[in-house]
Structures are given as C-alpha cells and as structure tokens.
Amino acid sequence: MTVKPLGTKILLRIMEEEAPSKGGILLPKSTRKAYREAIVQAVGPRYKGELKPGNTVFHVPFTGVERIINREQYIFVKEFELLGVLN
C-alpha cells in the first residue's frame, strides 16, 4: 500500500521502538526524550520546503497523527512540528 500525504503534510516513519521499563511496562522512548527521530517517507504536493524522502528528522512527540501501516509506525506532521534535519 502506498500512502501519499495531502497538501503540505509530511509523512514520517518512526525509527524508535517501544522499550520495557525496569518494572516490565512498555514505554515509548518518546516519553523519555524531548524529541523523536524519524525518516521522511513522502511529502505533500504543495510542500515547498527543503525536505526530501530519505531525510532523517527530529520531531516533537505527541504531535501529528500517528498510524500503523504494514506493521510500521508512521506519523503525518506539518513542517513547524519538526525540530531539525540530521545531515
């Protein structure tokens, strides 16, 4: 299945996995950090920024719309929800 974001949205694939705490509770790594790493999968047709598929970015946790597609965790975000690009 191919997913194409609409408008100026950016589709990211989350790189981090959930990890169990010492007590055995599954906690997403995002609860322990101020940012999450992700890879740009696609950009919307009206997006005019510098991001391209394959770029690694940092984004703010608990923003955007998260979905699981083909057993991979994806998130749709707007550009202002991104913190930076890893070169």
In this structure, what token pair is assigned to residue 4? 């194409």
11 forms beta bridges with 42, 76
- Tens digit of each residue's pLDDT (9 = 90 or more) over 38-64: 999 999 999 999 999 999 999 888 889
- Tens digit of each residue's pLDDT (9 = 90 or more) over 58-81: 988 888 999 988 888 899 999 999
Taking CA atoms, 3 is separated from 6, 27, 36, 78, in Å, by: 10, 27, 21, 16
Which structural domains are found in the chain, ordered by start? 10-86 (2.30.33.40)
In the block, residue with structure tokens 């690009």: 85
pTM given for the model: 0.78
